[in-house]
Amino acid sequence: MSFKMIDLHTHSIFSDGELIPFELCRRVEVMEYGAIAITDHADTSNLEQIITGLTKAAQAWNSVNSSLKLIPGVELTHVPPPLIRPLVEKARQLGAKIVVVHGETLVEPVSPGTNRAALEADIDILAHPGLITEEEVLLAKERDICLEISGRRGHSFSNGHVARLAKKFGAKLVIDSDGHAPGDFLNLEFARKVALGAGLTEEDFKKMLKNAWEIVKKRQK
């Protein structure tokens, strides 16, 4: 494997995670991660607070740590579809480097139309998109937005469906933990097993890691 583990969808105490940002970083650092994005759940009520706090944490962490890069991000969660695009724009203005939208997972009552609204905005990843349609997968490909293979309980139920359609239509995939607690984060070998369990190949797994690193490179410009 030529890439270190990278995870662009995790949560800290700034939303519903269990860890402060530095502890989260230290835990994945010892798991030999190369980069981690903290993407706490946000809507109009807390967007600025989250991005400001994570940006401060990233600046401090990255100033003294060269083995693990911390990236400030946000996950727009249960946002009504008409509000997604303007909130994505605001997140970018506030300095979010990674923008994720909480997709239409099978296990939560996400508003219908969320997947499409997210794919029409300037996001990086559509998380756990559930029974995403072929038309939406084609839109993800057209707009160069990654679809997520999830390591999280419940959200992973549709991994096979997402993987199959992404491969059929050539949409990009990433693999993330959606980690909220210390035991949630995926080491490289378990992430590989999640990918294989979704019907993907070893080469697909390597490509997913490459896709994630390319997002980071793009957003650091």
pLDDT digit string (tens) for 175-221?
A: 999 999 999 999 999 999 999 999 999 999 999 999 999 999 999 86
**Residue-level pLDDT at 177:** 98
The CATH number covering residue 95 comes to: 3.20.20.140
Task: Please count the structural domains in the chain.
Answer: 1
Asked whether the beta carbons of 180 and 221 are under 8 A apart, the reply is no
pLDDT digit string (tens) for 57-102?
A: 999 999 999 999 999 999 999 999 999 999 999 999 999 999 999 9
How do 33-42 and 5-10 pair as beta strands?
parallel
Q: How confident is the model at residue 3 (pLDDT cuts 50, 70, 90)?
A: confident
| pTM of the predicted model as reported, rounded to 2 decimal places | 0.97
Residue 153 is part of which domain span? Answer: 5-219
Asked whether the beta carbons of 177 and 17 are under 8 A apart, the reply is no
Q: Which of 159, 199, 180, 107 is nearest to 147 (CA)?
A: 159
Quick check: 136 pLDDT over 80? yes
**Residue-level pLDDT at 220:** 83
| Local structure of 36: helix, strand or coil | strand
Spatial separation of the C-alpha atoms in residues 44 and 41, rounded to whole Å = 11
**Residue-level pLDDT at 67:** 94
Q: How confident is the model at residue 125 (pLDDT cuts 50, 70, 90)?
A: very high
Spatial separation of the C-alpha atoms in residues 21 and 23, rounded to whole Å = 6
Quick check: 1 pLDDT over 80? no
Residue with tokens 């903290």: 38
Quick check: 167 pLDDT over 80? yes
Helices (H) and strands (E) in the chain, counts: 8, 7
Q: How confident is the model at residue 156 (pLDDT cuts 50, 70, 90)?
A: very high
Quick check: 20 pLDDT over 50? yes
